[in-house]
Amino acid sequence: MASRTPRTEYSESQAAGRLRVPISSWRWAVHAGVVPASDASAWQWSRAAVEAMDPAAITASMPREPIAGSAAADRLAIALGTPNVPDEAATVTSFVVRRLIDRDLLTELSGNHGGSLLNPDQVDQVGARPDLADWSPRSAPSGRTRRQPVST
């Protein structure tokens, strides 16, 4: 019987699995700096680094359950003062949430490409931004999309 070679590098999902923490907690801990930057390659951690990590600290870094992108959209719509109403066109959609993720204003925590999971505290912080309306196409006057100011 061949001996099994121990893993020397871990991807984020492998490291989360090894530490028995949810991938959403792992991703938030990376964002929050609780998990050190990857040391083996761009997105891989060495075995020594993973073994030195504290699973309880990773889990504690995000004390509330993540919320779905649709729930984040609803929270942001409320923050804009124009709540999403069932059976009507949404003020803030998952497209807007995705834009906020793409611009690093929100951190994607899901390991599933089919949907988003977000830290509700971070969503609330973004909802408190005075420039939030600039990120929502439907919040622009006359139905026109607001454009980002051009830096010169």
Confidence band for 150, pLDDT divided at 50, 70 and 90: very low
Residue 68 is given by DSSP the state E
Q: Let me know: does 35 contact 27? Beta carbons within 8 Å.
A: no
Taking alpha carbons only, the member of 17, 57, 22 closest to residue 36 is: 57
Share of the chain above pLDDT 70, in %: 87
pLDDT at 111: 78
When pLDDT is averaged across residues 118-128 and rounded to a whole number, the result is 96
Span 64-88, pLDDT tens digits: 999 999 999 999 999 999 999 999 9
Please determine, for residue 151, whether its predicted confidence score (pLDDT) is greater than 60: no
Q: Any idea what the Cα angle at residue 67 is, between residues 133 and 88, rounded to 5°?
A: 55
Spatial neighbors of 8 by CB under 8 A, at least 6 apart, are: 40, 46, 47
| Domains in the chain: boundaries | 9-60, 67-143
pLDDT band (50, 70, 90) for residue 142: very low
Give the pLDDT score at 31.
94
Confidence (pTM): 0.79
In contact, 25 and 12? CB cutoff 8 Å: no
Hey, is 60 helix, strand or coil? helix
Per-residue pLDDT for 30 more than 80?
yes
CB burial string 97-111: b at 16+ within 10 A, e below: beebbeeebbbbbbe
How much is the pLDDT for 145? 38
